[in-house]
């Protein structure tokens, strides 16, 4: 594939996840309340087309592609495949599993498409500017579908929060964080104007999105990443990463399983329910008792007809939640304790080991730090949102790309 083809594929993949085929979703439409069991045919067609092209590109570069694959990821994917057949919605679960695989393959190809670092930097800089321009265009010219408002059928409390072309402020928030991290990497003495503009625009949008989770975590994530970069000893790097993630989980999900933790958090913050999330976590953990080891089947718990039409809303509104608002619980609900254990080993321990090895690889340390920052932020963010295996947006795609890039950064000398 020549340079033009690589550029075009890189851009198309990026736009598929960062813009999607349904930008500016109208949240005033009552259909958003219905069970989400049908796929988007056009989305599937475009995704599969880019998947096949990506797969062919990976086959042509199979030696590099294999270096991105972790045996733990393969084991995790095999377990998720097993849970497809334990689901009450095996057909839906299978389609979603296949789609999840296409996202993984596409992200792998996206990482190795740039011919060199300068090519990657140039594309990332202008794509960041385009995404920000599209978001601001919506806020200015299409506010009814770019700013949450009281005419929407869900979460009226979000009225006034910016979301741009994204479907929700909680998606716009982490998107802005990733753009800030991208452009912190791109910010150089000889090329600072557009990256600096991107950082300013993304920061302003983040503030007006009112996504408190992202706003509150960005400084912590950058600080943790800097500590990991500085200490260099692997055991200390693990401690620097695991302690903040563990504390986040303890102070959030811990409030619904431990009364002392609940009392402590109640005295610490003004909203110990984390905007109602504790009700969702309680409901999810109670439901998990029925299928603790295998869960309810890959990506078939939330928004399914048994919840929407099962009368659970009489007991709690939490059954209407679109996801667990916690990535670890969300994955546990669908793949069980076995699935979440495999995932934690792959996602929490392997990327940090890869970053540690990359520090001795001779590759650009600034690029590795960029991916490390994204990974740290997402691990913390997952305590209050559900970024894992959410294939239709930029959050999971960005995390996958970071994890694959770190693995490659530790094993292959960059061009």
Q: Quick one: pLDDT band at residue 415, thresholds 50, 70, 90?
A: low
Residue 70 pLDDT more than 90?
yes
Residue 111: closest CA among 403, 363, 353, 374: 403
> Of the given ranges (45-54, 139-148, 288-297, 386-395), which has the lowest mean pLDDT?
386-395
Residue 23: closest CA among 125, 117, 142, 109: 142
Residue 179: closest CA among 136, 143, 150: 136
Q: Quick one: pLDDT band at residue 153, thresholds 50, 70, 90?
A: confident
Q: Which residues pair with 188 in a beta bridge?
A: 191
Q: Quick one: pLDDT band at residue 38, thresholds 50, 70, 90?
A: low
Phi first, then psi, for residue 60 (nearest 5°) are: -70, -20
Structure tokens at 162: 């910016």
How far is 369 from 366, CA to CA, in rounded Å? 5
For the chain, the straight-line distance linking the first and the last C-alpha, in angstroms and rounded, comes to 16
Q: What percent of the chain has pLDDT over 90?
A: 85
pLDDT at position 413 is: 81
Using an 8 Å Cβ cutoff, are 210 and 158 in contact? yes
* Rounded average pLDDT over 286-315: 85
Residue pLDDT, tens place only, 1-23: 899 999 999 999 999 999 999 99
Residue 202 pLDDT more than 70?
yes
Residue 37 pLDDT more than 70?
no
Q: What percent of the chain has pLDDT over 70?
A: 96
pLDDT at position 312 is: 67
Using an 8 Å Cβ cutoff, are 387 and 381 in contact? yes
DSSP 39: -
Helix H, strand E, coil C: the string for 186-218 is: HCECCECHHHHHHHHHHHHHHHHHCCHHHHHHH
Q: Quick one: pLDDT band at residue 40, thresholds 50, 70, 90?
A: confident
* Rounded average pLDDT over 311-326: 81
Residue 342 pLDDT more than 90?
yes
pLDDT at position 90 is: 96
Number of Cβ within a 10 Å radius of residue 372: 29
Residue pLDDT, tens place only, 223-270: 999 999 999 999 999 999 999 999 999 999 999 999 999 999 999 999
Structure tokens at 5: 């083809």
pTM confidence score:
0.95
pLDDT at position 98 is: 94
Q: Quick one: pLDDT band at residue 314, thresholds 50, 70, 90?
A: low
Average pLDDT value over all residues in the chain: 93
* Rounded average pLDDT over 354-375: 95
pLDDT at position 41 is: 78
Q: Quick one: pLDDT band at residue 290, thresholds 50, 70, 90?
A: very high
């Amino acid at each position: 594939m020549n340079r033009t083809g690589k550029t075009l594929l890189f851009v198309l993949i990026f736009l598929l996840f960062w813009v999607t085929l349904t930008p500016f979703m109208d949240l005033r439409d009552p259909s958003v309340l219905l069970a989400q069991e049908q796929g988007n045919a056009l989305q599937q067609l475009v995704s599969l087309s880019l998947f096949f092209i990506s797969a062919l590109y990976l086959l042509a570069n199979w030696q590099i592609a294999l270096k991105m694959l972790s045996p733990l990821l393969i084991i995790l994917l095999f377990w998720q495949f097993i849970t497809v057949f334990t689901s009450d919605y095996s057909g839906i679960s299978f389609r979603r599993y296949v789609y999840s695989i296409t996202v993984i393959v596409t992200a792998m190809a996206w990482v190795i498409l740039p011919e060199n670092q300068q090519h990657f930097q140039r594309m990332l800089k202008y794509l960041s500017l385009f995404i920000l321009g599209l978001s601001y265009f919506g806020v200015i010219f299409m506010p009814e579908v770019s700013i949450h408002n009281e005419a929407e059928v869900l979460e009226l409390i979000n009225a006034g929060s910016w979301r741009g072309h994204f479907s929700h402020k909680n998606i716009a928030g982490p998107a802005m964080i990733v753009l800030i991290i991208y452009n912190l990497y791109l910010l150089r003495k000889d090329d600072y104007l557009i990256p600096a503009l991107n950082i300013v625009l993304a920061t302003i949008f983040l503030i007006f999105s009112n996504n408190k989770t992202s706003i509150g975590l960005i400084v912590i994530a950058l600080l943790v990443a800097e500590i990991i970069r500085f200490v260099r000893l692997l055991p200390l790097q693990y401690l620097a990463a695991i302690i903040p993630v563990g504390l986040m989980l303890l102070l959030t999900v811990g409030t619904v399983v431990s009364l002392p933790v609940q009392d402590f958090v109640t005295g610490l913050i003004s909203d110990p329910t984390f905007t109602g999330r504790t009700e969702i976590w309680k409901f999810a953990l109670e439901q998990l008792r029925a299928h603790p080891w295998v869960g309810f089947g890959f990506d078939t718990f939330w928004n399914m007809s048994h919840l929407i039409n099962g009368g659970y809303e009489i007991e709690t509104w939490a059954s209407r939640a679109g996801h667990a608002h916690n990535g670890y619980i969300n994955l546990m609900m669908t793949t069980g304790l076995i699935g979440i254990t495999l995932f934690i080993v792959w996602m929490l321990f392997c990327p940090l080991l890869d970053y540690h090895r990359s520090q001795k690889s001779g590759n650009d340390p600034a690029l590795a730090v960029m991916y490390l920052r994204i990974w740290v932020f997402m691990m913390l963010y997952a305590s209050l949102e559900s970024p894992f295996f959410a294939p239709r947006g930029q959050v999971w795609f960005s995390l996958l790309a970071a994890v694959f890039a770190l693995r490659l950064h530790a094993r292959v000398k960059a061009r």
